[in-house]
Structure 1
Amino acid sequence: MTHSRSALIVRAGWEGHSPVAATDLFVPHLVASGFEVRVEESTSVYADAAGLASVDLIMQCVTMSTIEPDELSGLTAAVRAGTGLAGWHGGIADSFRASSDYFHLVGGQFASHPGKPASEERDGSERDNFVPYTVAMTELGRQHPITEGIADFDLETEQYWVLSDDLNDVLATTTQRVRAGDPWHREVTSPAVWTRQWGDGRIFVATPGHSMDVLQHANVRTIIERGLLWASR
C-alpha cells in the first residue's frame, strides 16, 4: 500500500484511559485510509516544530499530564499551519489542565463527570462515575460528514461536563439533568462532539471514550474514525 498521508499518534498520561490499547484500536483504520503511522509515547515530539510540519494528522491520547512551553508552541504552530488534531475523552479534553493556551486551542476543557446522584449507593469503583445519558445530534451534526446518518444514541459511562466556547462547531451535545441533591438548578448542555478551525488546521473532539467498550460502541467508533479523516490536512 502506498501511504499518501502521515499520522502521528501521541499517547501518554494517565493509564486509566488505556492510551496504548485505545489508540491501537484505530491504527488499522488509519493504515487502510492511506496513512503512514508513527507512534510516540511522549509529548516531547511536539517540540520538534520542523518534524511536525510534515504531519497531516495528530491523534492524541494524553490524559491529566503536563506540557512544556516549547511543546505547546510546536503543537499550536503545526495546527495553525494545517496539521489536524483529533482525539476523544480525556485524551484531548483533559490533557493539560495547567495550560490555558492548550484549552484555547482545542476549545473545550473537561470540568467534571458528576456521576451517580446522591440518592444512589456508591461502591468506590469507577462505576460511581457512570450514568445513562443521550448523545443528541445537533442540526449541524445531522448534515456533517462526521455524524451524518447517525441518530441520537444512549450510553452508560462517564458523562463529561465541558467548558467551551462558541468558536466550536458542535455536532452533538449531552445534557446533565438536575437530580435530588445536585448543586446546580437547571439542566446544563455540553458539547459531546465538536470540530474547530484553528488557522489552517482542523480539530476534532469527541467526549465519549472512557473505556474500550465505549470506543467499540458502533456509533462512537464510527464518529471517531470519520473525525480522524475529517481533521487530517
Structure 2
Amino acid sequence: MEMPKALVVRGGWEGHRPVEATGLFLPFLTQNNFEVRITDSTAVYADAPTMAETDLIVQCVTMSSIEQEELAGLRAAVADGCGFTGWHGGIADSFRASSDYLQLIGGQFATHPGKEPARRTGDETDNFLTHTVDFTPLGREHPITAGLDDFTLTTEQYWVLHDDLIDVLATTTHPVQPWHPWHRPIASPAVWTRRWGAGRIVVTTPGHSLDVLENRSVRTVIERGMLWASRTASAS
C-alpha cells in the first residue's frame, strides 16, 4: 500500500520558530506512516504534480506573502481533497494581503489583547494572558477533540475575525477590561474545521511558542487534526 504524503511548508516570521515548531510534529507524521517532504518556500504550491500527490499540507508560515499562482495551486489542491492544517500565526496569520487565502481559511488573526498597561515590561509577555479554551458541543463529539477537557493556557489569546462556514470545535472568550475599548465579552474560535470542496481544513490558534505546542491538549488537537484532515481520511 502506498504511503500517504505529507508536505510541511514552513517560513515567514522567525518569532514563531517555524523550523523548531514543525520539527515537533515530524515524528508523529512518520509514526503514522506519512512520507514527509519539507520545504521552506511556498513555491511548491504552484507545482501541480507535487500538489496532486500530496495528501496533507502542514503549514507554518506567519505573515509573509504568496504569489498568485502559488495560492491558486494551494486552493485547487485543497478543493481536490488535500488536507490543510496548521496552528497559530502559521495558518491564521499568513499572507495578510491575500483575500483569497483568507476566504480559504475562513478566519484571520486580528489581535492578541495585552495585559494592563501598568504591568507591561516591553517584551512578548505583555501579550500573554491566562485564558481558557472551551470546547463547544460539537467539539465534545468531533474526532479531533472528543474526550478532551477545557484547558487553561498563559500565552497569546487570539482574537479572530471569521465567517460562518467554519465548524467551531473550541472557543476562547476575551473579557471586558477597563483599558480596552470593547463593551462586552468577545468569543473567538480557538479550534475550527472547514470543508472546502473535497478537502478538509483544521486551524488551531494556540501555538505561539514551543512550550504551548508541547501542552498535552494543544498537541493532541494538532495531531488528531492532521489525521482527520488528510486526504486518506476524508476519502474513507
**TM bin (shorter chain):** over 0.9
Tell me what 1:117 maps to. Answer: 116
Tell me what 2:234 maps to. Answer: none
Q: Does 1:47 pair with 2:18?
A: no
Q: Does 1:147 pair with 2:145?
A: yes
Tell me what 2:83 maps to. Answer: 84
Q: Give the TM-score normalised by the residue count of structure 2.
A: 0.96
Tell me what 1:214 maps to. Answer: 212
Q: Per-residue deviation at 1:50?
A: 2.2
Amino acid at match of 1:95: S
After superposition, the C-alpha distances for 1:1-38 in whole angstroms (9 at most, x for unaligned) are x7620000000100000000000100000011110000
Amino acid at match of 1:98: A
Higher mean C-alpha displacement, 194-203 vs 48-57: 48-57
2:119 aligns to what SS in structure 1? Answer: coil
Unaligned runs of 5+ in 1: none
* Distance (whole Å) between structure 1 residues aligned to residue 105 and residue 48 of structure 2: 19
Q: Per-residue deviation at 1:114?
A: 1.0
Q: Per-residue deviation at 1:150?
A: 0.5
Q: 2:223 aligns with which of 200, 222, 225?
A: 225
After superposition, the C-alpha distances for 1:47-91 in whole angstroms (9 at most, x for unaligned) are 112210100000000001100000000000000000000000000
* Distance (whole Å) between structure 1 residues aligned to residue 25 and residue 103 of structure 2: 26
* Distance (whole Å) between structure 2 residues aligned to residue 82 and residue 3 of structure 1: 17
Moved over 4 A (4+): none
Tell me what 1:95 maps to. Answer: 94
* Distance (whole Å) between structure 1 residues aligned to residue 218 and residue 52 of structure 2: 29
Tell me what 1:61 maps to. Answer: 60
Task: State how 1:172-211 maps to structure 2 within 5 Å.
Answer: 172-211=170-209
Tell me what 1:37 maps to. Answer: 36
Partners of 1:49 and 1:77 within 8 A in 2? no
1:156 aligns to what SS in structure 2? Answer: strand
* Distance (whole Å) between structure 2 residues aligned to residue 8 and residue 91 of structure 1: 14
1:70 aligns to what SS in structure 2? Answer: helix
* Distance (whole Å) between structure 2 residues aligned to residue 117 and residue 98 of structure 1: 31
Task: State how 1:15-26 maps to structure 2 within 5 Å.
Answer: 15-26=14-25
* Distance (whole Å) between structure 2 residues aligned to residue 181 and residue 217 of structure 1: 30
Percent identity between matched residues is 65
Amino acid at match of 1:181: W
Q: Per-residue deviation at 1:115?
A: 1.5
Cα gap change, 1:3/1:30 in structure 2, threshold over 3 Å: closer, same or farther? farther
Q: Per-residue deviation at 1:196?
A: 0.2
Q: Per-residue deviation at 1:121?
A: 1.8
* Distance (whole Å) between structure 2 residues aligned to residue 121 and residue 148 of structure 1: 37
After superposition, the C-alpha distances for 1:127-178 in whole angstroms (9 at most, x for unaligned) are 0010000000000000001000101100000000000011101000000000
Q: Give the TM-score normalised by the residue count of structure 1.
A: 0.98
